Structure 1
Amino acid sequence: MATVRELKATARPSVGKGAARAERRAGRVPGVIYGNNQPPLPISVDDRELRQRILAGRFLTTLFDIELEGKKHRVIPRDFHLDPVKDFPVHVDFMRLGEGATIRVSVPLHVQKAEASPGVKRGGTVNIVTHTIELECSVDNIPQYIEADVSGLEISYSLHLSDITLPAGVKPLAREDITLVTIVPPSGYAEEQKAAAAAAAGAAGAAAAPGAAAPAAGAAAPAAGAPAAGAPAAGAAAPAAGAKAPAGGDKKK
Protein backbone atom coordinates (compact mmCIF):
# COMPACT_ATOMS: atom_id res chain seq x y z
CA MET A 1 0.00 0.00 0.00
CA ALA A 2 1.42 3.37 -1.04
CA THR A 3 1.96 6.01 1.63
CA VAL A 4 -0.50 8.91 1.42
CA ARG A 5 0.52 12.39 2.58
CA GLU A 6 -1.72 15.18 3.76
CA LEU A 7 -1.76 18.56 2.03
CA LYS A 8 -4.04 21.52 2.72
CA ALA A 9 -5.32 23.73 -0.07
CA THR A 10 -7.60 26.70 -0.62
CA ALA A 11 -10.06 27.13 -3.48
CA ARG A 12 -9.20 29.95 -5.85
CA PRO A 13 -12.20 32.16 -6.56
CA SER A 14 -10.74 33.42 -9.84
CA VAL A 15 -8.26 32.27 -12.45
CA GLY A 16 -5.94 34.02 -14.86
CA LYS A 17 -2.46 35.55 -14.74
CA GLY A 18 -3.50 38.44 -12.51
CA ALA A 19 -5.12 36.15 -9.94
CA ALA A 20 -2.12 33.80 -10.02
CA ARG A 21 0.28 36.69 -9.34
CA ALA A 22 -1.90 37.78 -6.42
CA GLU A 23 -1.69 34.28 -4.93
CA ARG A 24 2.11 34.28 -5.21
CA ARG A 25 2.35 37.67 -3.54
CA ALA A 26 0.31 36.21 -0.69
CA GLY A 27 2.82 33.37 -0.25
CA ARG A 28 0.73 30.75 -2.03
CA VAL A 29 1.24 28.70 -5.19
CA PRO A 30 -1.63 28.43 -7.69
CA GLY A 31 -2.58 25.00 -8.91
CA VAL A 32 -5.35 22.84 -10.27
CA ILE A 33 -6.96 19.45 -9.56
CA TYR A 34 -8.25 17.65 -12.66
CA GLY A 35 -9.25 14.22 -13.91
CA ASN A 36 -11.62 11.36 -12.97
CA ASN A 37 -14.32 12.76 -15.27
CA GLN A 38 -14.83 15.81 -13.08
CA PRO A 39 -14.37 19.51 -13.89
CA PRO A 40 -11.00 21.15 -13.07
CA LEU A 41 -10.79 22.64 -9.60
CA PRO A 42 -8.54 25.73 -9.19
CA ILE A 43 -6.69 25.71 -5.86
CA SER A 44 -3.68 27.24 -4.14
CA VAL A 45 -1.30 25.69 -1.60
CA ASP A 46 1.13 27.17 0.88
CA ASP A 47 4.42 28.03 -0.83
CA ARG A 48 6.66 26.92 2.05
CA GLU A 49 4.88 23.58 2.50
CA LEU A 50 4.98 22.84 -1.23
CA ARG A 51 8.71 23.58 -1.38
CA GLN A 52 9.35 21.15 1.46
CA ARG A 53 7.33 18.45 -0.32
CA ILE A 54 9.26 18.93 -3.56
CA LEU A 55 12.68 19.04 -1.89
CA ALA A 56 11.89 15.87 0.08
CA GLY A 57 12.06 13.93 -3.19
CA ARG A 58 9.71 11.56 -5.04
CA PHE A 59 7.12 14.33 -5.22
CA LEU A 60 5.67 13.15 -8.54
CA THR A 61 5.21 9.58 -7.28
CA THR A 62 3.66 10.44 -3.90
CA LEU A 63 -0.06 10.24 -3.24
CA PHE A 64 -1.72 13.14 -1.43
CA ASP A 65 -5.05 13.67 0.27
CA ILE A 66 -5.74 17.33 -0.38
CA GLU A 67 -8.09 18.79 2.17
CA LEU A 68 -10.27 21.41 0.56
CA GLU A 69 -13.25 23.00 2.31
CA GLY A 70 -13.80 19.98 4.54
CA LYS A 71 -13.50 17.45 1.71
CA LYS A 72 -10.51 15.27 0.83
CA HIS A 73 -9.36 14.66 -2.71
CA ARG A 74 -7.02 11.73 -3.40
CA VAL A 75 -4.50 13.02 -5.96
CA ILE A 76 -1.02 12.55 -7.36
CA PRO A 77 1.15 15.45 -8.58
CA ARG A 78 1.62 15.36 -12.34
CA ASP A 79 3.67 18.49 -12.93
CA PHE A 80 5.08 21.61 -11.30
CA HIS A 81 6.80 24.68 -12.67
CA LEU A 82 9.70 26.56 -11.10
CA ASP A 83 10.72 30.16 -11.55
CA PRO A 84 13.67 30.08 -14.01
CA VAL A 85 15.65 32.60 -11.95
CA LYS A 86 14.67 32.18 -8.29
CA ASP A 87 13.87 28.45 -8.56
CA PHE A 88 10.70 28.53 -6.43
CA PRO A 89 7.42 26.85 -7.47
CA VAL A 90 5.01 29.00 -9.46
CA HIS A 91 2.38 26.41 -10.41
CA VAL A 92 1.42 22.81 -9.59
CA ASP A 93 -0.94 20.30 -11.22
CA PHE A 94 -2.65 17.42 -9.39
CA MET A 95 -4.52 14.54 -11.00
CA ARG A 96 -7.60 13.28 -9.17
CA LEU A 97 -7.56 9.52 -8.63
CA GLY A 98 -10.55 7.20 -8.62
CA GLU A 99 -10.65 4.01 -6.58
CA GLY A 100 -8.56 1.25 -8.19
CA ALA A 101 -7.23 3.59 -10.86
CA THR A 102 -4.21 2.66 -12.95
CA ILE A 103 -1.67 5.35 -13.75
CA ARG A 104 1.62 5.86 -15.52
CA VAL A 105 4.50 7.08 -13.41
CA SER A 106 8.21 7.74 -13.79
CA VAL A 107 10.12 5.94 -11.01
CA PRO A 108 13.82 6.53 -10.17
CA LEU A 109 16.42 3.79 -10.58
CA HIS A 110 18.61 2.96 -7.58
CA VAL A 111 21.88 1.07 -8.20
CA GLN A 112 22.62 -1.63 -5.60
CA LYS A 113 25.83 -3.51 -4.63
CA ALA A 114 28.14 -1.54 -6.89
CA GLU A 115 31.09 -2.21 -4.56
CA ALA A 116 30.70 -5.96 -5.18
CA SER A 117 30.91 -5.65 -8.96
CA PRO A 118 34.06 -7.35 -10.35
CA GLY A 119 34.25 -4.61 -12.96
CA VAL A 120 34.28 -1.90 -10.29
CA LYS A 121 36.92 -3.81 -8.32
CA ARG A 122 39.12 -3.73 -11.43
CA GLY A 123 38.82 0.03 -11.73
CA GLY A 124 35.61 0.35 -13.75
CA THR A 125 32.98 3.02 -13.14
CA VAL A 126 29.21 2.60 -12.81
CA ASN A 127 27.45 4.58 -15.55
CA ILE A 128 23.69 4.98 -15.04
CA VAL A 129 22.27 5.17 -18.55
CA THR A 130 18.59 5.33 -17.56
CA HIS A 131 17.85 7.34 -14.41
CA THR A 132 14.07 6.80 -14.36
CA ILE A 133 11.79 4.05 -15.66
CA GLU A 134 8.31 4.65 -17.04
CA LEU A 135 5.87 2.24 -15.41
CA GLU A 136 2.19 1.45 -15.34
CA CYS A 137 0.66 0.37 -12.04
CA SER A 138 -2.29 0.83 -9.73
CA VAL A 139 -2.39 3.92 -7.54
CA ASP A 140 -2.04 1.74 -4.45
CA ASN A 141 1.07 -0.03 -5.76
CA ILE A 142 3.44 2.73 -6.86
CA PRO A 143 7.06 1.71 -6.15
CA GLN A 144 9.23 4.40 -4.62
CA TYR A 145 12.16 3.25 -6.75
CA ILE A 146 13.40 0.30 -8.82
CA GLU A 147 16.53 -1.56 -7.71
CA ALA A 148 19.31 -2.46 -10.15
CA ASP A 149 21.74 -5.05 -8.73
CA VAL A 150 25.11 -4.70 -10.52
CA SER A 151 27.12 -7.07 -8.30
CA GLY A 152 27.68 -9.46 -11.21
CA LEU A 153 28.77 -6.97 -13.87
CA GLU A 154 32.25 -7.05 -15.39
CA ILE A 155 33.92 -4.19 -17.27
CA SER A 156 32.00 -3.21 -20.46
CA TYR A 157 28.97 -5.31 -19.42
CA SER A 158 25.48 -3.83 -19.02
CA LEU A 159 22.26 -4.39 -17.10
CA HIS A 160 19.05 -4.18 -19.14
CA LEU A 161 15.41 -3.75 -18.26
CA SER A 162 14.78 -7.46 -18.85
CA ASP A 163 17.44 -8.30 -16.23
CA ILE A 164 15.51 -6.86 -13.28
CA THR A 165 12.38 -8.07 -11.50
CA LEU A 166 9.58 -5.52 -11.16
CA PRO A 167 7.08 -5.61 -8.28
CA ALA A 168 3.88 -7.58 -8.79
CA GLY A 169 1.29 -5.67 -10.77
CA VAL A 170 3.87 -3.27 -12.22
CA LYS A 171 4.82 -3.34 -15.89
CA PRO A 172 7.22 -1.20 -17.94
CA LEU A 173 5.99 1.07 -20.70
CA ALA A 174 9.18 0.82 -22.79
CA ARG A 175 8.74 -1.46 -25.79
CA GLU A 176 12.44 -2.15 -26.24
CA ASP A 177 14.86 -3.73 -23.78
CA ILE A 178 16.53 -0.50 -22.69
CA THR A 179 19.99 -0.35 -21.12
CA LEU A 180 19.92 0.70 -17.47
CA VAL A 181 23.52 0.53 -16.20
CA THR A 182 26.93 -0.06 -17.79
CA ILE A 183 30.36 -0.61 -16.21
CA VAL A 184 32.68 1.77 -18.02
CA PRO A 185 36.33 0.66 -18.35
CA PRO A 186 39.05 2.76 -16.68
CA SER A 187 41.40 5.00 -18.64
CA GLY A 188 43.99 3.02 -20.59
CA TYR A 189 42.00 -0.21 -20.31
CA ALA A 190 41.91 -0.73 -24.10
CA GLU A 191 45.69 -0.39 -24.37
CA GLU A 192 46.17 -2.83 -21.49
CA GLN A 193 43.91 -5.34 -23.19
CA LYS A 194 45.85 -5.04 -26.46
CA ALA A 195 49.15 -5.48 -24.64
CA ALA A 196 47.81 -8.53 -22.79
CA ALA A 197 46.54 -10.03 -26.06
CA ALA A 198 49.91 -9.45 -27.72
CA ALA A 199 51.73 -11.05 -24.78
CA ALA A 200 49.39 -14.04 -24.87
CA ALA A 201 49.94 -14.45 -28.61
CA GLY A 202 53.72 -14.29 -28.09
CA ALA A 203 53.57 -16.90 -25.34
CA ALA A 204 51.46 -19.17 -27.54
CA GLY A 205 53.99 -18.83 -30.37
CA ALA A 206 56.90 -19.63 -28.05
CA ALA A 207 55.09 -22.68 -26.75
CA ALA A 208 54.43 -23.91 -30.28
CA ALA A 209 58.12 -23.57 -31.41
CA PRO A 210 59.61 -26.52 -29.36
CA GLY A 211 56.81 -28.75 -30.58
CA ALA A 212 57.75 -27.97 -34.15
CA ALA A 213 61.46 -28.79 -33.48
CA ALA A 214 60.61 -32.21 -32.11
CA PRO A 215 59.57 -33.63 -35.45
CA ALA A 216 62.79 -32.25 -37.03
CA ALA A 217 64.86 -34.02 -34.41
CA GLY A 218 62.82 -37.16 -35.04
CA ALA A 219 63.48 -36.83 -38.72
CA ALA A 220 67.23 -36.76 -38.00
CA ALA A 221 67.00 -40.00 -36.06
CA PRO A 222 66.15 -42.07 -39.11
CA ALA A 223 68.99 -40.36 -41.02
CA ALA A 224 71.45 -41.30 -38.30
CA GLY A 225 70.04 -44.83 -38.27
CA ALA A 226 70.14 -45.03 -42.03
CA PRO A 227 73.31 -47.13 -42.03
CA ALA A 228 71.58 -49.82 -40.01
CA ALA A 229 68.47 -49.79 -42.00
CA GLY A 230 70.54 -48.88 -44.92
CA ALA A 231 72.96 -51.74 -44.50
CA PRO A 232 72.03 -52.30 -48.10
CA ALA A 233 73.69 -49.01 -48.93
CA ALA A 234 76.87 -50.08 -47.20
CA GLY A 235 76.52 -53.47 -48.86
CA ALA A 236 76.26 -51.76 -52.19
CA ALA A 237 79.71 -50.34 -51.64
CA ALA A 238 81.11 -53.83 -50.98
CA PRO A 239 80.20 -55.18 -54.39
CA ALA A 240 81.81 -52.16 -55.95
CA ALA A 241 85.02 -52.98 -54.13
CA GLY A 242 84.61 -56.63 -55.17
CA ALA A 243 84.26 -55.53 -58.73
CA LYS A 244 87.90 -54.39 -58.69
CA ALA A 245 89.04 -57.86 -57.87
CA PRO A 246 87.86 -59.30 -61.15
CA ALA A 247 89.39 -56.32 -62.88
CA GLY A 248 92.68 -57.13 -61.19
CA GLY A 249 92.25 -60.73 -62.13
CA ASP A 250 91.99 -59.68 -65.74
CA LYS A 251 95.44 -58.13 -65.54
CA LYS A 252 96.90 -61.37 -64.19
CA LYS A 253 95.64 -63.08 -67.25
Structure 2
Amino acid sequence: MAKTHEIKVQRREDEGKGASRRLRHAGNVPAIVYGGELKPVSIQLNHNEVWLASQHDWFYSSILDLSLNGDIQKVLLRDMQRHPYKQQIMHLDFQRVNENETLRTAVPLHFINQDTSPAGKSADVVVTHELNEVVVECLPKDLPEFIELDLSNLAVGAVVHLSEIKLPAGVEIPELKLGKEHDVAVVIAKHGKEEAEAPAEGAEKEEK
Protein backbone atom coordinates (compact mmCIF):
# COMPACT_ATOMS: atom_id res chain seq x y z
CA MET A 1 0.00 0.00 0.00
CA ALA A 2 1.41 3.38 -1.01
CA LYS A 3 1.87 5.97 1.70
CA THR A 4 -0.12 9.18 1.57
CA HIS A 5 0.77 12.60 2.94
CA GLU A 6 -1.74 15.25 3.97
CA ILE A 7 -1.34 18.80 2.70
CA LYS A 8 -3.67 21.47 4.10
CA VAL A 9 -4.97 24.00 1.58
CA GLN A 10 -7.47 26.85 1.42
CA ARG A 11 -9.79 27.88 -1.37
CA ARG A 12 -8.58 30.91 -3.30
CA GLU A 13 -11.27 33.41 -4.19
CA ASP A 14 -9.24 36.10 -5.98
CA GLU A 15 -7.42 35.23 -9.20
CA GLY A 16 -5.11 36.99 -11.60
CA LYS A 17 -1.50 38.22 -11.43
CA GLY A 18 -2.21 40.90 -8.84
CA ALA A 19 -3.98 38.47 -6.52
CA SER A 20 -1.17 35.93 -6.90
CA ARG A 21 1.45 38.55 -6.03
CA ARG A 22 -0.48 39.49 -2.89
CA LEU A 23 -0.72 35.82 -1.90
CA ARG A 24 3.01 35.32 -2.28
CA HIS A 25 3.74 38.51 -0.34
CA ALA A 26 1.60 37.11 2.49
CA GLY A 27 3.65 33.89 2.56
CA ASN A 28 1.35 31.68 0.49
CA VAL A 29 1.58 29.79 -2.80
CA PRO A 30 -1.18 29.95 -5.44
CA ALA A 31 -2.16 26.59 -6.91
CA ILE A 32 -4.83 24.75 -8.85
CA VAL A 33 -6.45 21.32 -8.56
CA TYR A 34 -7.90 19.78 -11.72
CA GLY A 35 -8.93 16.47 -13.25
CA GLY A 36 -11.59 13.86 -12.70
CA GLU A 37 -15.26 14.74 -12.85
CA LEU A 38 -14.92 17.86 -10.69
CA LYS A 39 -14.23 21.37 -11.91
CA PRO A 40 -10.79 22.94 -11.45
CA VAL A 41 -10.42 24.68 -8.09
CA SER A 42 -8.03 27.53 -7.29
CA ILE A 43 -6.34 27.03 -3.92
CA GLN A 44 -3.53 28.43 -1.78
CA LEU A 45 -0.96 26.78 0.48
CA ASN A 46 1.41 28.00 3.17
CA HIS A 47 4.77 28.57 1.49
CA ASN A 48 6.95 27.37 4.37
CA GLU A 49 5.02 24.10 4.65
CA VAL A 50 5.24 23.53 0.89
CA TRP A 51 8.95 24.41 0.82
CA LEU A 52 9.71 21.85 3.53
CA ALA A 53 7.63 19.22 1.73
CA SER A 54 9.44 19.97 -1.54
CA GLN A 55 12.72 18.78 0.00
CA HIS A 56 11.41 15.19 0.06
CA ASP A 57 10.94 12.69 -2.79
CA TRP A 58 7.41 11.87 -1.66
CA PHE A 59 6.17 15.34 -2.56
CA TYR A 60 6.85 14.65 -6.24
CA SER A 61 6.01 10.95 -6.56
CA SER A 62 3.41 10.06 -3.91
CA ILE A 63 -0.33 10.33 -3.69
CA LEU A 64 -1.05 13.49 -1.69
CA ASP A 65 -4.16 14.05 0.41
CA LEU A 66 -5.22 17.65 -0.16
CA SER A 67 -7.33 18.70 2.81
CA LEU A 68 -9.75 21.52 1.95
CA ASN A 69 -12.09 22.34 4.84
CA GLY A 70 -12.00 18.71 5.93
CA ASP A 71 -12.66 17.37 2.42
CA ILE A 72 -9.84 15.10 1.21
CA GLN A 73 -8.94 14.91 -2.47
CA LYS A 74 -6.25 12.48 -3.62
CA VAL A 75 -3.87 14.15 -6.05
CA LEU A 76 -0.44 14.03 -7.69
CA LEU A 77 1.82 17.03 -8.11
CA ARG A 78 2.04 17.65 -11.86
CA ASP A 79 3.89 20.95 -12.08
CA MET A 80 5.85 23.26 -9.80
CA GLN A 81 7.08 26.69 -10.86
CA ARG A 82 10.06 28.10 -8.94
CA HIS A 83 11.46 31.62 -8.82
CA PRO A 84 14.52 31.83 -11.11
CA TYR A 85 16.91 32.82 -8.31
CA LYS A 86 15.02 33.07 -5.00
CA GLN A 87 14.15 30.11 -2.78
CA GLN A 88 10.50 30.59 -3.60
CA ILE A 89 7.80 28.38 -5.09
CA MET A 90 5.62 30.42 -7.42
CA HIS A 91 2.78 28.06 -8.41
CA LEU A 92 1.67 24.44 -8.12
CA ASP A 93 -0.55 22.21 -10.28
CA PHE A 94 -2.21 19.17 -8.71
CA GLN A 95 -4.12 16.48 -10.64
CA ARG A 96 -6.86 14.44 -9.00
CA VAL A 97 -6.42 10.67 -9.20
CA ASN A 98 -9.01 7.93 -9.45
CA GLU A 99 -8.09 5.04 -7.14
CA ASN A 100 -9.44 2.56 -9.71
CA GLU A 101 -7.56 3.93 -12.72
CA THR A 102 -3.94 3.28 -13.73
CA LEU A 103 -1.73 6.34 -13.53
CA ARG A 104 1.64 7.17 -15.07
CA THR A 105 4.25 9.23 -13.25
CA ALA A 106 8.00 9.50 -12.61
CA VAL A 107 9.46 7.87 -9.49
CA PRO A 108 12.97 8.57 -8.10
CA LEU A 109 15.64 5.86 -8.17
CA HIS A 110 17.65 5.27 -4.99
CA PHE A 111 20.99 3.56 -5.59
CA ILE A 112 22.22 1.46 -2.68
CA ASN A 113 25.41 -0.50 -1.89
CA GLN A 114 27.41 1.05 -4.72
CA ASP A 115 30.42 1.82 -2.51
CA THR A 116 30.76 -1.80 -1.41
CA SER A 117 30.40 -3.28 -4.91
CA PRO A 118 33.41 -4.53 -6.92
CA ALA A 119 33.13 -1.49 -9.19
CA GLY A 120 32.66 0.90 -6.28
CA LYS A 121 35.77 -0.39 -4.52
CA SER A 122 37.96 0.02 -7.62
CA ALA A 123 39.85 3.31 -7.53
CA ASP A 124 40.09 3.67 -11.32
CA VAL A 125 36.42 2.94 -12.07
CA VAL A 126 33.86 5.65 -12.78
CA VAL A 127 30.23 4.74 -12.02
CA THR A 128 27.67 6.94 -13.76
CA HIS A 129 23.92 7.06 -13.18
CA GLU A 130 22.31 7.61 -16.57
CA LEU A 131 18.85 7.90 -15.01
CA ASN A 132 17.82 9.26 -11.62
CA GLU A 133 14.12 8.55 -12.04
CA VAL A 134 11.90 6.21 -14.03
CA VAL A 135 8.37 6.56 -15.39
CA VAL A 136 6.05 3.85 -14.06
CA GLU A 137 2.44 2.76 -14.49
CA CYS A 138 0.32 1.40 -11.65
CA LEU A 139 -2.80 1.88 -9.60
CA PRO A 140 -2.56 4.69 -7.01
CA LYS A 141 -2.46 2.15 -4.15
CA ASP A 142 0.68 0.56 -5.62
CA LEU A 143 2.63 3.76 -6.31
CA PRO A 144 6.04 3.67 -4.55
CA GLU A 145 7.71 6.82 -3.20
CA PHE A 146 10.95 5.59 -4.75
CA ILE A 147 12.49 2.45 -6.24
CA GLU A 148 15.71 1.00 -4.86
CA LEU A 149 18.37 -0.31 -7.21
CA ASP A 150 20.81 -2.59 -5.38
CA LEU A 151 24.30 -2.22 -6.87
CA SER A 152 26.09 -4.55 -4.45
CA ASN A 153 27.09 -6.88 -7.32
CA LEU A 154 28.04 -4.15 -9.79
CA ALA A 155 31.14 -5.39 -11.59
CA VAL A 156 33.82 -3.41 -13.39
CA GLY A 157 32.64 -2.83 -16.96
CA ALA A 158 29.04 -3.71 -16.14
CA VAL A 159 25.95 -1.97 -17.48
CA VAL A 160 22.64 -2.13 -15.62
CA HIS A 161 19.64 -1.81 -17.91
CA LEU A 162 16.09 -0.62 -17.31
CA SER A 163 14.75 -4.18 -17.46
CA GLU A 164 16.97 -5.19 -14.52
CA ILE A 165 15.22 -2.90 -12.04
CA LYS A 166 13.22 -4.94 -9.52
CA LEU A 167 9.77 -3.40 -9.37
CA PRO A 168 7.22 -3.60 -6.54
CA ALA A 169 4.10 -5.68 -7.14
CA GLY A 170 1.62 -4.02 -9.48
CA VAL A 171 4.19 -1.60 -10.96
CA GLU A 172 5.34 -1.60 -14.60
CA ILE A 173 7.75 0.45 -16.72
CA PRO A 174 5.79 1.38 -19.89
CA GLU A 175 8.97 2.20 -21.81
CA LEU A 176 9.90 -1.50 -21.86
CA LYS A 177 6.73 -2.33 -23.79
CA LEU A 178 8.03 -0.35 -26.77
CA GLY A 179 10.82 -2.78 -27.71
CA LYS A 180 14.36 -3.85 -26.83
CA GLU A 181 15.83 -0.57 -28.07
CA HIS A 182 14.05 1.16 -25.18
CA ASP A 183 15.83 -1.01 -22.59
CA VAL A 184 18.31 1.78 -21.93
CA ALA A 185 21.30 1.87 -19.59
CA VAL A 186 20.61 3.05 -16.05
CA VAL A 187 24.06 2.56 -14.51
CA ILE A 188 27.45 2.21 -16.25
CA ALA A 189 30.72 1.21 -14.54
CA LYS A 190 33.74 2.12 -16.70
CA HIS A 191 37.48 2.27 -16.17
CA GLY A 192 38.59 5.87 -15.78
CA LYS A 193 41.20 5.16 -18.46
CA GLU A 194 38.43 4.44 -20.98
CA GLU A 195 36.85 7.82 -20.25
CA ALA A 196 40.18 9.59 -20.72
CA GLU A 197 41.17 7.74 -23.92
CA ALA A 198 37.93 8.43 -25.79
CA PRO A 199 38.61 12.18 -26.36
CA ALA A 200 42.27 11.47 -27.15
CA GLU A 201 41.30 9.10 -29.97
CA GLY A 202 38.96 11.72 -31.37
CA ALA A 203 41.73 14.32 -31.25
CA GLU A 204 44.07 12.02 -33.21
CA LYS A 205 41.52 11.68 -35.98
CA GLU A 206 41.18 15.45 -36.23
CA GLU A 207 44.97 15.85 -36.53
CA LYS A 208 45.03 13.42 -39.45
Query: Does the TM-score normalized on the shorter chain lie above 0.5?
Result: yes
Q: Distance in 1 between matches of 2:6 and 2:101?
A: 19
Q: What residue is the counterpart of 2:183 in the other structure?
A: 177
For residues 34-53 of structure 1, the aligned pairs below 5 Å read 34-53=34-53
Matched pairs, number: 191
Q: Distance in 2 between matches of 1:64 and 1:163?
A: 29
Task: Normalising by structure 1, report the TM-score.
Answer: 0.70
Q: 5+ residue gaps in structure 1?
A: 192-253
Cα distance change on mapping 1:71 and 1:179 into 2, 3 Å: same
CA-atom RMSD in angstroms? 1.9
Residue identity over aligned pairs, in percent, reads 34
Cα distance change on mapping 1:64 and 1:190 into 2, 3 Å: closer
Paired residues of 2:99 and 2:139 also in contact (CA < 8 A): no
Cα distance change on mapping 1:47 and 1:190 into 2, 3 Å: closer
Displacement of 1:56 after TM fit?
Answer: 2.8
Q: What residue is the counterpart of 1:91 in the other structure?
A: 91
Large movers: runs of 4+ above 4 Å: 188-191
Structure 1 position 80 matched with structure 2 position 80 = yes
Structure 1 position 61 matched with structure 2 position 67 = no
Displacement of 1:85 after TM fit?
Answer: 1.6
Q: Distance in 1 between matches of 2:97 and 2:190?
A: 42
Supply the AA of the counterpart residue of 1:180. V
Higher relative contact order (CA 8 A, sep 6+): 2
Deviations 1:112-136 (A, max 9, x none): 2223422333321321111110111
Counterpart secondary structure, 1:108: strand
Between stretches 107-116 and 156-165, larger displacement belongs to 107-116
Supply the AA of the counterpart residue of 2:82. L
Counterpart secondary structure, 1:140: helix
Counterpart secondary structure, 1:133: strand
Relative to its length, the structure with more helix (as a share) is 1
Displacement of 1:13 after TM fit?
Answer: 0.9
Supply the AA of the counterpart residue of 2:107. V
Structure 1 position 2 matched with structure 2 position 2 = yes
Supply the AA of the counterpart residue of 1:161. L
Q: Distance in 2 between matches of 1:137 and 1:2?
A: 11
Q: 5+ residue gaps in structure 2?
A: 198-208
Structure 1 position 70 matched with structure 2 position 70 = yes
Paired residues of 2:161 and 2:187 also in contact (CA < 8 A): yes
Displacement of 1:40 after TM fit?
Answer: 0.5
Task: Normalising by structure 2, report the TM-score.
Answer: 0.84
Structure 1 position 166 matched with structure 2 position 167 = yes
Displacement of 1:188 after TM fit?
Answer: 7.4
Paired residues of 1:60 and 1:79 also in contact (CA < 8 A): no
